[in-house]
Structure 1
Amino acid sequence: MKMENNTIFITGGTSGIGRGLAEAFHKLGNQVIIAGRRKALLDEVTTANPGMKAIELDIGDPASIEAAAKTLIADYPQLNVLINNAGIMPFDDASQAIDDTTMQAIITTNLYGPIRMTSALIEHLKRQPDATIINNTSVLAYVPLAVTAVYSATKAALHSYSLSQRFMLRDTSVRVQEIAPPWVNTDLIKKGDDPRAMPLDQFITETMAGLAADKEEIVVESIQAMRDNPGANEHALVTGFNAEMIANPIPM
């Protein structure tokens, strides 16, 4: 994607990867609009980044998505980049009954949200001479973390959706790129000093380089082997990965 002279809308832009991307694009001179549910957090980020704009959005509410899309099209007619970043990651246990409310929230936020948000803006984006949709999935789309089975499944589904979406938009002005983060040191799980978590600033730097290189899928080097999930040997890879995570659990 081109890295300058864009009008960019980022869901979940008040913290973690979303805020990191928002600030990186803002520093390049793009018009960035962040979205989130809490006005206080939106105000905090925009105050720290003069010129950045914000809009309140509940990505789990179809009516809120439609209202936000109408506002964006009216107030920012040059909008040409959508970054579907908002997501939640509760832990679960697929060997037991999973709480239905939690399950629905994960699916609604992580899968329905990006699909609905893109659907609300897609015709506008197709009218732009150069547009990009960026879907934030996860390395867990390829190698699931068993203690976040529903989250991992939603990211696998969004990866699949991105592949179909890219194909269907192949003859339009809209490109589809996918970011597949590793474990990044953000509040999505628990921010701390675990050495297995990639520093946020390093992740943003590598990701921005991947976006600039026009890669369809941006995977940082440290997880390339996991992305290259070895086909028929997948089961052994997933078992080994999860056995190591159980032996050295993520801090709660």
Structure 2
Amino acid sequence: MDITGNTVFIPGATSGIGLALAIRLQERGNTVVIGGRRTELLAQLETEHGFDTVRIDMADRESIREASATVLAAHPELNVVVAMAGIMRSEDWHSPAGFLADAEEVVTTNLLGPIRLIAEFVDHLRTRPAATIMTVSSGLAFVPLAITPSYDATKAGIHNLSEAIRVQLEDTSVRVVELVPPAVATDLLPGTDSHGMPLDAFADEVISLIESQPDAQEILVEAVHPLRFAEANGAYPATLARLNGFGAPTA
């Protein structure tokens, strides 16, 4: 995608990766609309950064529908949608009480949310001369973290969704780009932020990659390569062991 001159909608952009990317895209001459659930925070960010804002709950189909209609009414020139939705929960699969409610919430937000969002925008995007759907998966789509199985599964789903709809939309003006973050220092999973890549460094590298590789189908910062290519490089068992803190298999 071109790095400038776009009108971009990013739900889930009131903090973390979404907000960091929104700020940088705006700085490069894009009109950026951000979404989130907290209206007070949206109002604050609108004042601080000049974003247009809309309330959206990515776990709620009707909220997605209403927010999408609002964005399109205000910005008919919109040509980039970043289908960003991510909540992360630790789960204990020894019994349903340890995982089922969290798993359902994660799947609804992380997988159904982006699917529903894309469904609201795809017809419009096809009318634009050059449009982009950016999905957001994770390095954990390729090597799972054992304590977050549903999160891992949803991000693997987003990866395969991206691959499939990219092929389907080849006959349109819409490109599908997948952003694949490593662990980043955000509050996605409390207690793990100190182990992630610094947020500003991640966002800066993402923008640099978009600038230097406008035709890329995947945006891969250097830190995610060990996970993304573990299986292809024959390093999957060792990477799985290292990620989850147990000894590498001996057979």
Length-normalised TM-score, structure 2: 0.91
User: 1:106-165: per-residue Cα shift (whole Å, max 9, x none)?
Assistant: 001000000000011100001000100111111000011000111011000000000001
Which residue number in structure 2 is paired with residue 7 of structure 1? Answer: 7
Residues 33-52 of structure 1 mapped to structure 2, 5 A cutoff: 33-50=33-50, 52=51
The answer as to whether partners of 1:93 and 1:149 remain within 8 angstroms in 2 is no
Q: Distance in 2 between matches of 1:73 and 1:80?
A: 10
Paired residue secondary structure (2:132): strand
Residues 38-187 of structure 1 mapped to structure 2, 5 A cutoff: 38-50=38-50, 52-97=51-96, 98-187=98-187
Quick one: which amino acid aligns to residue 225 of structure 2? Q
The answer as to whether partners of 1:93 and 1:146 remain within 8 angstroms in 2 is no
The answer as to whether partners of 1:16 and 1:187 remain within 8 angstroms in 2 is yes
The answer as to whether partners of 1:185 and 1:198 remain within 8 angstroms in 2 is yes
Which residue number in structure 1 is paired with residue 26 of structure 2? Answer: 26
Which residue number in structure 2 is paired with residue 221 of structure 1? Answer: 222
Identity of aligned residues (%): 40
Worse-superposed segment, 221-230 or 114-123: 221-230
User: 1:195-219: per-residue Cα shift (whole Å, max 9, x none)?
Assistant: x311111100111122221211111
> Cα distance, 1:95 vs. partner?
3.9
Structure 1 unaligned regions, length at least 5: 246-252
Which residue number in structure 2 is paired with residue 248 of structure 1? Answer: none
Quick one: which amino acid aligns to residue 72 of structure 1? V
Structure 1 counterpart of 2:239, from 237, 240, 245: 237
Which residue number in structure 2 is paired with residue 249 of structure 1? Answer: none
The answer as to whether partners of 1:126 and 1:174 remain within 8 angstroms in 2 is yes
> Cα distance, 1:2 vs. partner?
0.7
**Deviant stretches of 4+, over 6 Å:** none
1:191/1:96 Cα in 2 relative to 1: closer, same or farther (>3 Å)? closer
User: 1:23-73: per-residue Cα shift (whole Å, max 9, x none)?
Assistant: 0011112111000111011112111102x1000011111111111121122
> Cα distance, 1:244 vs. partner?
5.3
RMSD of aligned residue pairs (Cα, Å):
1.8
> Cα distance, 1:236 vs. partner?
4.4
Paired residue secondary structure (2:35): strand
Q: Distance in 2 between matches of 1:122 and 1:191?
A: 37
1:95/1:102 Cα in 2 relative to 1: closer, same or farther (>3 Å)? same
Q: Distance in 2 between matches of 1:108 and 1:193?
A: 24
Paired residue secondary structure (2:148): helix
> Cα distance, 1:86 vs. partner?
2.1
Length-normalised TM-score, structure 1: 0.91
> Cα distance, 1:94 vs. partner?
3.0
Q: Distance in 2 between matches of 1:10 and 1:60?
A: 15
The answer as to whether partners of 1:94 and 1:146 remain within 8 angstroms in 2 is no
Quick one: which amino acid aligns to residue 229 of structure 2? D
Paired residue secondary structure (1:144): coil
